[in-house]
Structure 1
Amino acid sequence: MSAPGGGAVVSVESPTESRNPRTVDIDRVSTLDVVRLINAEDATVPAAVAAVLPELATAVDLAVDVVRAGGRVHYVGAGTSGRLATLDAAELVPTFNTPPDWFVAHHAGGQAALVRAIEDVEDQAGDGEAQIREHATAADLVLGVTASGRTPFVMGALRAAHEMGARTVLVSNNPGAPVPTGVDVVIALDTGPEAIAGSTRMKAGNSQKLVLTSFSTAVMVRLGRTYSNLMVSVRATNAKLRGRTVRILREATGLDERDCTDALAEAGGDLRVALVHLLSGTSAARAAEALDASDGHVRHALAALGA
């Protein structure tokens, strides 16, 4: 049997669809106990993520290699999974001042489905395949996110990516689902049945949010978009962020506000240039050259300057 769009339907029961024995009486208890039951289920999510950290680290290293070589990371998802992936990709630009095309999100149903559920679009394997064939290349990495482990839109995208020669990662909440041919890394989260059967916006979604945030943040760290645990690549686009850049510079250097403000001005507002300038004792112009030569990696630039 084939799904709409040409994807094969695989009959695999997802754990997220099963009834949770711990919450069968959730509609008979007090409001406080309702939220206690939900919270108890949510508390199991970090352990499920911890169990897949080796696979997550492998996916991060793949993405770092891809971006360093000039490729991009493509997120693919539907429903909650696609919205979480879109959110993660959108927040990288202001947080780490990344080029807007480093991380690209493809959501089943497009923009309209981000704000209003369009349930049938996730079944269109051909749409997922077309998205990747149009927007990705063999130099890229495609990461699919699906609670069931078998969403046709995501499977179609991963299949196309593999056929094109791109690297592929699957994030799933169904450890028992068959692994699609050619997937390089499978991150199978065992979050079990939801508090409300089938409501994957709950534990499955929470686990996907943790995985995506950890994945993209770790990629940024490995690419040198941070210095220590400071967001030195942040783009100061408003008063709050401009104030943050001064605080970050003070924290990293131990200097006072006036020195840091002056350094930022000399660096044209570029926090990384100001930081390398102050920590190395070299000019802002030389600091900028060292950063350019190190692909923006602050510690590598400092090392090159002997600091």
Structure 2
Amino acid sequence: MTVELPLVVGVDGSESSLRAVDWATDEAALRGKPLRLVYASLWERYEGAALAKGLGRSSEQVMADNIVEAAARRSQRRAPDVKVSTDVLPDDAVSVLLNEAHTAFALIVGSRGRSGLAELLLGSVSFAVAGRAACPVIVLRGNHDNRARAGRHRRVLLGVGEETHDAAATRFAFQEAEARDAELDAVRAWRWPARESTDHPLLAGEPARLHEERAADILESALSTAAAEHPNVALRRSTVEGTARRVLLDASADADLLVVGASRRHGHTGLQLGRVAHAVLHHSVCPVAVVPQRE
């Protein structure tokens, strides 16, 4: 019997995390996936299991249980057919979510917390998890003004790089577009470096055209396999002059989800976010999915 991997949401009672629950509930309904809501609490670790048991339920435990139960009720009201489970886990948020990632289809996190300090901490959690998780991580950028809503634009945006790790991101983007019945806009940014000399015979006349053609070739190569596997997805290929950071951030204004890949670098533990992924996680107008290449 195949076990259906859940969508996992980190909740903390903030408005941002509740919007993450809403977004994840819609996603679970679209994909027919179960939903798992987790709250990280260090109370028992700091107090000790024996002392925690002797003291009974603390105010922290009561609050944690109330938060996940309220989030579960919210999800079930939104999509009664989605199977929802909850858990309060005795560890810090990053450790909890990274551990959950090994048995999750994807992690969904908000971009800020319950207060000024919590906002900073949750931001750190989001970026730490996005850079190290074993499964896709969706950070709900844009949810400060309720932009993080499924189906608003019916458009999934995929940033196509040159690394082989983009294969997983490409497959994920096609799956998202198919589940949403949305257009997939695959974008490859290109630049004409000012330091290149037009005296070179290959660059004489139309030097920019060669860079654009190379970008188009990279785009076609990256998309060909997944496009054949998802023939019903409306695919738009775009080569745009400019930095990848700026091109994707501009395009995110009209997308429901931006998908980028994450690479595994030699000599580092876990996944490391490149400059483009880091930039879009900080500044994208829409939610961002960071997708690692599964080994």
What is the TM-score when the length of structure 1 is the normalising length?
0.25
Structure with bigger gyration radius: 1
Q: Which has the higher strand share?
A: 2
What is the TM-score when the length of structure 2 is the normalising length?
0.26
Q: Which has the higher helix share?
A: 1
